[in-house]
Structure 1
Amino acid sequence: MTQAELADGLTCQATISNLEINGVLPNFDILEGLTRRLSLTVVDILTTRLVTNPLILLQHQLDDECYGKVQTGLKKISRPSQDNFFERQQYDYLCASSSFHDGLIEDANFHCDQMINVPEKQRVWFHYALANTIKAEIWQQKDDLFKAGVCFDSVIDIIKKHPYTDPSFSMTSYIRIYQALAEHFLLVGNVDEAIRHLNKAFSILKQKNSIWHFGELMMIQAQVYYEKKMYGAQEKMISAVQELYKILKSPQLARMLDKLEA
């Protein structure tokens, strides 16, 4: 077996899909030791399979908050068949998340329903949790906190069964889930529960550096200070976020700051 053939086997979609379906989401860090011992570069591995899978590339763009690029990329590919249920749900998640962040709420709602209505035997728990998270945020935008709460109850049940483990390819998505939960519990006045989910998100960031998400979580922490009438701490936190935004202009962080000023 040549090194190229081995790299192809390590990164074949069947292997990765099987890992993901069973809750083990691979991180490129896992492959680093293998590539080093086999005298392979990351390019050697990526060019065999991963680079040819547009959904994986679009997921990276989604994690980088390049929602317009994700929308453009999705228009160039067809929705996977029902037989390929993992990639079909991955496609719907990319559609739902990018649409939601671009303000295309009905499109996002449609693709969330597609994931939620998948037969239980074919359901990918990770995408099901993300679908319910986005669905809950849509209900919140419509001021229906009860239905949002029902969706978030499903999310909490799922992440209790599948807690974040490191290394994980899903760090960004887990942070999105905990961030959404923290914001929801602030909306319904349950500050202690908001803090609990916020702390979980911060604990993930201690393992993986992410300036964008750190700023977004700091904004939620500022809201917590406001609810606790700690106005001085809130003001300092917001000032820190504004300085952070000057370094790295996250689209989501910009929206949070604009909402604050409004």
Structure 2
Amino acid sequence: MSHTLTARQALVLMYHGVGRRSARQDPFCLFVPPDTLYRQLRGLLDRGWTPLTLDRYLHGRFPRRSVLVTFDDGYQALLDEGLPVLRKLGFPATAFVLSGVLGGTSAWMAEMPDEPLLDAAGVRALADAGLDVECHGWDHSDLVNAGTGTLARNLVDAPAVLADITGKRARAFAYPYGTHDAAARRAVAEAGFEIAFSVHDAAGRYAVRRVDINATEVDATFRVKTWRGYPTIRRMSGAVPLLRPALHSLIGFAQRS
């Protein structure tokens, strides 16, 4: 795999849930309505973007305007409301699931602890539908400054459970919260993963940057986030604390109940 080429040329989008949730139900804006997801992905296709499977992404042979779509956490709603959209468009995607809380809820978030997660049958259904089902760890533990036991549970035990369900060894890892340090990146590599994804903080093959897409996006902000220079714009705007929300307000926010 030519990782430098892949990381430079492919846009990697990070979604979480798919569905309609009120601001009270989803204070972190994690759930994108199905019609919005359809419009966003349809727009990418109409503008000439090539959607990638994880395998094609890893091989690094694809057109310059290529996109890998990922979904974190493994919510039941991805199967119920996201998969029909992906099927309708013929759009591949990669789902990062939490092996230790299958069939449970989003208890790691005190503000929204009750969102249902896929059980083993749901994970198998995603894999059978053609999605790449990959590893997000055991229970959404932050791996920064993690001890050896936590690292082993998230990077050894978690993919072993997934392999029992899907029949395939996980090739990719996504850091919970997008956070990582040198020890976590080294542990991911030693665990046999081919690649790992962060969110905003990139650090080579084992912390590839993704662009987060959330419930507040309007068509204009989604287009901005697909610009090749968006990570640089975001980083520069972060130096001025009020600039980013001001720009977002100027462009617009999706209305939420």
Determine which structure has greater relative contact order: mean sequence separation of CA pairs < 8 Å that are 6+ residues apart, divided by chain length.
2
Q: Structures share a fold, TM > 0.5?
A: no
Write 1 or 2 for the structure with the bigger share of strand. 2
TM-score for the superposition, normalised by structure 2: 0.30
Select the structure that is richer in helix. Answer: 1
